[in-house]
Chains A and B, each alone.
Chain A
């Protein structure tokens, strides 16, 4: 495909601010969910968005190393598992105090991240991807083999973390707001970090790590630090996941969960502050709609992702920065179209899938024709 169609004009300050403002509005909107849930008498809304907020924390942490640091970790879900299992195992042995559970979970996630990072950061490119995947699968099989803690059946957490009299996590809005505040804190932390001296080194190493060494940076230790920080934040997301579902199992750190996290970051926009939040909201809403329609929902989701890569480089955030209102509108339209087809066909899946595949093909052909015409007019 030609890149002429998105000849990215240098982002102007204003359009960058648009994505900044939209991000803030979205975070604010997320803060209203418990109220909306009550107003619409829809408790499921709160359940869905609790999941979204927790995954957004994990995605923001992955973006720190993937988007800003250029480290494509294909094993980020391992830390969700480590965080979750720490809480689950402690609860199993009767330790419920959050003051012990949570810091310990974050600490152990950090240690696991340090070990994985030490081994994987010796490599680059596809090898780095494969080694992070392999090591995270090792963690996954550890969970699988932990028969004392349920093996691959997982383990129920009978009692939620105890914050003394301070917070009652059994109260769902309270728990939601705790997750929301942690998300805000995480976004703010990443914002400060990537613009600090440390962040400049991290981004420089993504762009050109050889040059970073020749101007005098021991690049490796900065990358490892970022890797550990991201692992710790993601471990916290794992703590929240386990507390939320009251259940831990190896499935929460399956490699496909790591893949989902990468998709969320790419869909939202790598290396942008709010991108992973946009991406997580879009991903999980789509998953919700599509999977209620058919268990083969990934057949539909796959082509949609291809469309994003084709038309909206830089993901949702990138489209906003370039001021591609059309792309964003098309995205929203596609979402409502999906939702419409879903309600119209209910349990059917073959016909709507065919419609969507045909629609994707049509869009692709149209784009091809437009590009060809453009190329011809340039000659």
Chain B
């Protein structure tokens, strides 16, 4: 099995706080790898370093065998890393389809094209519509993004990430703030795309994590205390104590 992403001994400090503490992690082709951990465990800081918004103080990140530790954000994106945001981050004034089409455009050469109307460009619109269909949002394609519901925003986020045909998809709490119904729909959707793209999933919803993940890494104070199959993680005493709480460990 080939490694899509290999993180080695990553360190990131903010003043006296070590948010990422000697973190190592690897993602295999086509798996869904969940990273769980209590609040403040450094999950979002880790994502920030993976996409290039934060520069690590030490350690390396390899993507498809290439060292990308110092690569800027837009180049990482161009080479196949896509991300959904924890806080919904879409283009509110654009329609759902416009949003996804923009993501397609980002990976279709340069955009110094000043004349032809982008909204009539089939090479942008068709893949965009396909991505909307994948996440089950095609029927809302022409709605302005600001008028979509919270759950639909999250689906749109993922459609935008998928539209760039990524090799690696970083999902930062895709179920955050969702009701059980939307959550279940999101789990079904992710199961649908499973295998076609390698996914790093950060999520608090344990039902979703255990339903989706092939492997799970547990992060505590910026350090990976365990990595393994869901069953192993469920049984791991150290994990139960650190993450699920003492009560759960005592059960």
B74 adjacent to A211 (CB under 8 Å): no
Cα-based distance from A215 to B112 in the complex (angstroms) = 17
Contact with B along A192-211 (1 / 0, CB 8 A): 11011111110110011011
Is A39 an interface residue, CB under 8 A from the partner?
no
Does B78 lie at the interface of the complex (its beta carbon under 8 Å from any beta carbon of A)?
Answer: yes
The answer to the question of A349 belonging to the interface, with a C-beta cut-off of 8 Å to chain B, is no
Closest to B146 in A: A10
Check A197–B118 contact: CB distance below 8 A.
Answer: yes
For A202, the closest partner residue in chain B by CB is B111
Q: In whole Å, how far is B208's beta carbon from the nearest beta carbon of chain A?
A: 23
CB distance from B142 to the nearest CB of A (A): 11
B91 & A216 in contact (Cβ 8 Å cutoff): no
A340 close to chain B: CB less than 8 A:
no
Inter-chain contacts of B194 with A (CB < 8 A) = none
Contacts of B77 in A (CB 8 A): 213-216
Q: Are A211 and B91 in contact (CB under 8 A)?
A: yes
- Distance of A154 from chain B, by nearest CB (Å): 36
Name the one of B91, B112, B116, B164 contacting A207, with C-beta atoms under 8 angstroms.
B91
Q: Which stretch of B28-36, B97-105, B129-137, B223-231 is in the interface?
A: B97-105
Check: B94 CB closer than 8 A to any chain A CB: yes
Bits for A85-126, please: 1 = Cβ < 8 Å to B, else 0.
000000000000000000000000000000000000000000
Task: Check if B116 sits within 8 Å of A197, measured CB to CB.
Answer: yes
* Contact between chains at B91 and A214 (CB < 8 Å): no
Tell me if B73 and A200 are in contact (CB < 8 A).
no
Chain B hits for A222, CB < 8 A = 111-112
Query: A327 an interface residue at 8 Å Cβ cutoff?
Result: no
Determine the interface band of chain A, counting residues with CB < 8 A from chain B.
20 to 34
Is residue B114 contacting chain A, with contact meaning CB distance below 8 A?
Answer: yes
Contacts of B90 in A (CB 8 A): 208, 211
Query: What is the CA–CA distance of A349 and B203 in the complex, to the nearest angstrom?
Result: 67
Is A144 an interface position by the 8 A CB rule? Answer: no
Q: Is A218 an interface residue (CB 8 A)?
A: yes
CB distance from A205 to the nearest CB of B (A): 10
Q: Does B115 contact A (CB under 8 A)?
A: yes
Contact with A along B176-220 (1 / 0, CB 8 A): 000000000000000000000000000000000000000000000
Contact A199 to B91, CB < 8 A, known contacts A214-B73, A216-B77: no
A217 interface contact, C-beta 8 A: yes
| Docked complex: A222-256 residues within 8 A CB-CB of B | 222, 225
Do B93 and A214 touch across chains, with their CB atoms under 8 A apart? no
Name the residue on B nearest A210 (C-beta): B89
Q: Smallest CB–CB gap between B171 and chain A, Å?
A: 13
Whole-angstrom distance between the Cβ of B202 and the nearest chain A Cβ: 15
A residues contacting B by CB (< 8 A) are: 10, 192-193, 195-201, 203-204, 207-208, 210-219, 222, 225
* Shortest 8 CB-CB contacts between residues of A and residues of B: A216-B77, A216-B106, A197-B111, A197-B113, A207-B91, A215-B106, A213-B73, A197-B118
- Chain B residues close to A by CB (< 8 Å): 51, 53, 73-74, 77-78, 82-83, 85, 89-94, 98, 101-103, 105-107, 111-119, 121, 124, 144, 147, 160, 164
For the complex with contacts A197-B118, A200-B101, A215-B82, 18 further pairs of A-B residues with Cβ separation under 8 Å are: A10-B144, A196-B118, A198-B111, A198-B114, A200-B102, A201-B102, A207-B92, A208-B90, A208-B92, A210-B53, A211-B89, A213-B77, A214-B53, A214-B73, A214-B82, A214-B83, A216-B74, A222-B111
Q: Show 18 A/B contacts (Cβ-Cβ < 8 Å), sorted by A.
A: A192-B117, A196-B113, A196-B115, A198-B111, A198-B113, A200-B101, A200-B102, A201-B105, A204-B94, A207-B91, A211-B89, A213-B73, A213-B77, A214-B74, A215-B102, A215-B103, A216-B107, A219-B74
